[in-house]
Chains A and B, each alone.
Chain A
Amino acid sequence: MIETAVIGIRSLASALPSRFAEVETLRTSSAAGTLRSFGFPGAWVEGNASQLALAAARKVVPGKKIDALLWVGALSGSHEHASASGISKDNVLHRFCYPGSWLQEELGLEQATVSGVAQQGCAGMFSAMRHARALLVAEPEVKNVLCAGADALPENAERELLYNVISDAGCACVLSHEELLYRWIGYHQISRGYYWDVPAKQSEIIAAYFPTAALTIRGVLKKTGIRAEEIDLVIPTGVNRSSWPILMRLCGIPDERLYQPEKSFGHTIAADSVLILEEARERGVLRPGMKLLLFAYGFGSSWCSLILETTDLI
């Protein structure tokens, strides 16, 4: 029997492209001033999804025998890697060139089994971690699971998504039983297929965001028996910053428990929580024994909430 209480995140890392573009230079629907007021001075652009994931994974893999690799991507294009072959791009074989397999090859993870997590939008990394944990619980021979992925928008693509400015980014983390930085306390997800048609249901999605987010967070609190006021820090995502104080109030968590990132990452789709958690750790905000609440919403639609506890290794 595996002791599930000792599963958690052993290491995590992220990677951003080299260029940050001011919001005024980006293709957006809303005015630049409006987006700045929502906390988006610009976006990280010109990234390559596979390379960003590789850069992040290289920071977390050394010294660990990886038994399983879960590739994460929100965009359908993030699940294809460019072939070295010169055959026509119309050939269906190109559709079978997977970045997860490419990443395994690049990192030399010969022992790992590879699969992918898709259709979770910005909640993809949360979902991958959930499945990684499930693997660790279900299969005793699995000791370390690498979750890695990235999303990058095409050059000159529209960068605004429902009042959020999208950055390219990659992230990676290893879930394990040992040398944990963050102990896994609980997870809760609500998926609503009703909202699958994103273009048609934009307004309904905006309206559903808050009440369903609150239900999700209350769900994880209930599952874990933790009271809202016992949450030490809420790690936000990079979405519209004006939404977080509302969500804090809806969940009964004191405003001052919301972590305020110093850096501007934009909304990096699935990498937000990793980027911001890393920053909080680098700034020395985290101390052993802190209960952290993480939340992400992904088109599809899925609302995910995760509680982690920092260990002495933090």
Chain B
Amino acid sequence: MKILLTGYTGNLGPAIARELSEHEVIACVRNPEAAPKMGHVRLVQGTLMELPRSVAGEIEVIIHAAANTSFVTPLDDLRITNVEGTRSILEFSRARPRLEKIIHVSTACVCGKQSGSVPEARLPKPASFVNAYEESKWEAEELVFNSDLPTEVIRLSIVAGSETDGSVRRTGALHHTLYWLWKGLIPMMPGSPDSLVDLISTEHAAQVVAGRAVAGLQPKQVTHGCAGEAAPRLGELLDHLTTIFSKRSPAWERGSITPPMIVDAATFALFEETVAQSGDLLFRRICQDSRSFLPGLLHPRQYETTNSGTPATDWRHLAELVTGHVIDSRS
């Protein structure tokens, strides 16, 4: 099978390509010289707006995994990559006789501030989103659902890192937060102890995407690459992180550092306000890193995982590997 992959140089791209080693992957990249090299991956130069027409006739499957995943970028800027980029992919896909399927890689957070069970289905526009990234990805999904092309959508939750060594190609809000936690610099986190924190490994995310790419088309199907019911609750995740930190630090082991409290939205807002008033640069950065990620914990929900199943790897093992990697790489 010949598969066009966007986002090859991103967090997940190489892992998806590895899962497709029995196929020919055509990776659309800006700079082929700087991209990872794999035997079955053909690097072709291009962007979302200037897709490689030369290979268009060969392509059987498109995996659109490229996205601007910044949680702090304004919506209009995010739309350029996430919405217009998706529109460009869909237009590129028209009149390709060999094309069987387009996999659109999305985020589980397109449900915004919705609480409760999140179905593997097209979602009505949420009343509000935690950040503009979520909104731009929801808009991109709408383009996909409204098209008459053979599309499927895969929504991934938080891709924490590798389940073999904890590594991550690009650190994000989760990793920054883990580091600040380790340093004892996060006094409180919004949410409730029972809020699920849906973490998955890079490998699981890649397996779900690759699996759907080579399977038979299920038109407009949504598949959640999520931990679902296997996800940890915030309270038990913090307990586990304390255990991990305790193995590495006498201060944590002795209880000298008190883990953060889990607080409601109003209390967290008061804390953020105080930090903003103080002008403290370090805590402003910590709040900025936390703001885009932590408020999602205020909306407890569980993602359905009927179409893909839950990850094989236990979240405790994944959390320990990723946390260790974050600490070691920043120490």
Contacts and interface: CB of A to CB of B under 8 A. Distances in A.
Interface of A: 30-31, 34, 37-38, 163, 192-195, 203-204, 206-212, 214-215, 240, 242-243, 245-246, 249-250
A208 B184 contact: yes
B280 A210 contact: no
Given A34-B279, A204-B183, 11 more contacts: A34-B277, A38-B277, A193-B256, A203-B185, A203-B280, A203-B282, A204-B184, A210-B187, A211-B258, A245-B270, A250-B261
A242 B185 contact: no
12 contacts: A30-B278, A204-B185, A206-B283, A207-B187, A208-B187, A210-B188, A211-B187, A211-B188, A211-B260, A211-B261, A242-B273, A242-B274
B179 to A, nearest CB: 13
Given A204-B183, A245-B270, A215 B278 contact: no
A245 B254 CA distance: 30
B248 to A, nearest CB: 15
A212 B256 CA distance: 10
Contact of B263 (A38, A163, A209, A249): A249
Given A34-B277, A34-B279, A194-B251, A211 B259 contact: yes
A245 B270 CA distance: 8
Given A211-B187, A246-B270, A249-B266, A206 B259 contact: no
Contact of B277 (A214, A242, A249): A242
Contacts of B274: 240, 242-243, 246
Contacts of B264: 249
B80 interface: no
Contacts of B261: 210-211, 214, 250
B298 to A, nearest CB: 15
Interface in B156-204: 183-188
Interface in B276-291: 277-280, 282-283
Nearest to B188: A210
Nearest to B252: A194
**DSSP class of A's interface residues: helix, strand, loop or mixed?**
helix
B306 to A, nearest CB: 39
Interface residues of B, number: 28
B271 A246 contact: yes
Nearest to A201: B184
Contacts of A215: 258
A246 B263 CA distance: 10
A193 B254 CA distance: 11
Contact of A192 (B186, B256, B273): B256
B116 to A, nearest CB: 26
Contacts of B44: none
B267 A249 contact: yes
Contacts of B184: 204, 207-208
A243 B280 CA distance: 15
Contacts of A246: 267, 270-271, 274
B278 A212 contact: no
B35 interface: no
Contacts of B266: 249
Nearest to A194: B256
Interface of B: 183-188, 251, 254, 256-261, 263-264, 266-267, 270-271, 273-274, 277-280, 282-283
A37 to B, nearest CB: 6
B288 to A, nearest CB: 15
A195 B254 CA distance: 13
A207 B267 contact: no
A192 B254 CA distance: 10
A14 to B, nearest CB: 27
A208 B267 contact: no
B185, B258, B277 — most chain A CB neighbours (10 Å)? B258
Contacts of A210: 187-188, 261, 271
4 closest A-B pairs by beta carbon, nearest first, are A194-B256, A211-B258, A249-B267, A210-B187
A37 B277 contact: yes
Contacts of A31: 279
B289 to A, nearest CB: 14
A232 to B, nearest CB: 22
A31 B280 CA distance: 12
B270 A242 contact: yes
A206 B258 CA distance: 12
A212 B186 CA distance: 12
Contacts of A208: 184, 187, 257-258
B278 A209 contact: no
A193 B251 CA distance: 10
Nearest to B264: A249
Contacts of B273: 242
A236 to B, nearest CB: 15
A228 to B, nearest CB: 14
Nearest to B260: A211
A295 to B, nearest CB: 15
A209 B258 CA distance: 9
Contacts of B188: 210-211, 250
A214 B260 CA distance: 11
A209 B188 CA distance: 11
B270 A249 contact: yes
Contacts of A209: 187
A312 to B, nearest CB: 37
B270 A30 contact: no
A34, A193, A207, A240 — most chain B CB neighbours (10 Å)? A207
B270 A212 contact: no
B237 to A, nearest CB: 16
Nearest to A240: B274
A287 B185 CA distance: 41
Nearest to A212: B258
